A = this chain, B = another copy of it.
């Protein structure tokens, strides 16, 4: 295996384990076994299993940005339509990776991990920023968005969306506990607030940007 292939094998193994094991039970030995890599090969690329987790998270975020870019490239209509398509595309991608994302969130919410994840979250957002910036800039040029400042708006939009997966996790737990209506209502309220805030920040003039419909999340909500 080339060095790059080894790195990828480790990340693939970690991503797989993340979906199936509590991360605190994942050891470097388990990672080595799953990836078919020697100890030396591992430490050539990473300093610890948490170092691997950080790389997994950034790779997920790059893949999500790439999915958003693909949807954006194919989208048509004005900036409002393209922004809506981008939101739908990234959400669909995220839902396809839900088990991994939930694994990461579970670790992030554990005592003592908060600070590490704040830094990673910031880095993940930074990677999504150029495309977001482009979407907003185009809407301003087309006169469909009326923003106060492009960079500030992109920053606040990302901040406004950041808790969605935490709410999704809570909503799914509620469904699993036998309250599917409560779970769905929770999700719908969150999407409603994010949609209103997104439109306010973008200063949408005639038509509004839409968040994905709650129906898109049905499989996820019922999969716990």
Binding site for B on A (CB under 8 A): 114-116, 118-119, 122, 148-149, 152, 155-156, 159-160, 193, 196-197, 200-201, 203
Given contacts A156-B159, A159-B155, A159-B156, whether A148 and B196 have CB atoms under 8 Å apart is yes
Nearest CB in chain B to that of A193: its residue:
B149
CA distance A8 to B118 in the complex (A): 30
Q: Which residues of B contact A203 (CB under 8 A)?
A: 200
CA distance A67 to B155 in the complex (A): 28
A/B interface sample: 16 pairs, CB < 8 A? A114-B119, A115-B119, A118-B122, A148-B193, A148-B196, A148-B197, A148-B200, A149-B193, A149-B197, A152-B197, A155-B159, A156-B159, A156-B160, A159-B159, A200-B200, A200-B203
Q: Which residues of B contact A197 (CB under 8 A)?
A: 148-149, 152, 156
Given contacts A115-B118, A119-B118, A200-B200, whether A152 and B156 have CB atoms under 8 Å apart is no
Q: How far apart are A211's CB and chain B's nearest CB, in angstroms? A: 13
CA distance A21 to B96 in the complex (A): 52
CA distance A186 to B203 in the complex (A): 24
Interface pairs A-B: 5 shortest CB-CB: A115-B119, A118-B118, A148-B196, A159-B159, A149-B193
Copies of this chain, how many?
Answer: 2
Q: Which residues of B contact A159 (CB under 8 A)?
A: 155-156, 159
CA distance A148 to B156 in the complex (A): 14
CA distance A217 to B203 in the complex (A): 31
- From A114, A118, A122, name the one whose CB has the most chain B CB atoms within 10 angstroms: A118
Q: Which residues of B contact A152 (CB under 8 A)?
A: 160, 193, 197
Nearest CB in chain B to that of A195: its residue:
B148
CA distance A171 to B201 in the complex (A): 27
Contacts A156-B156, A156-B159, A159-B159 known; 17 new A-B pairs at CB < 8 A? A114-B119, A115-B115, A115-B119, A118-B122, A148-B193, A148-B196, A148-B197, A148-B200, A149-B193, A149-B196, A149-B197, A152-B160, A155-B159, A156-B160, A156-B197, A200-B200, A200-B201
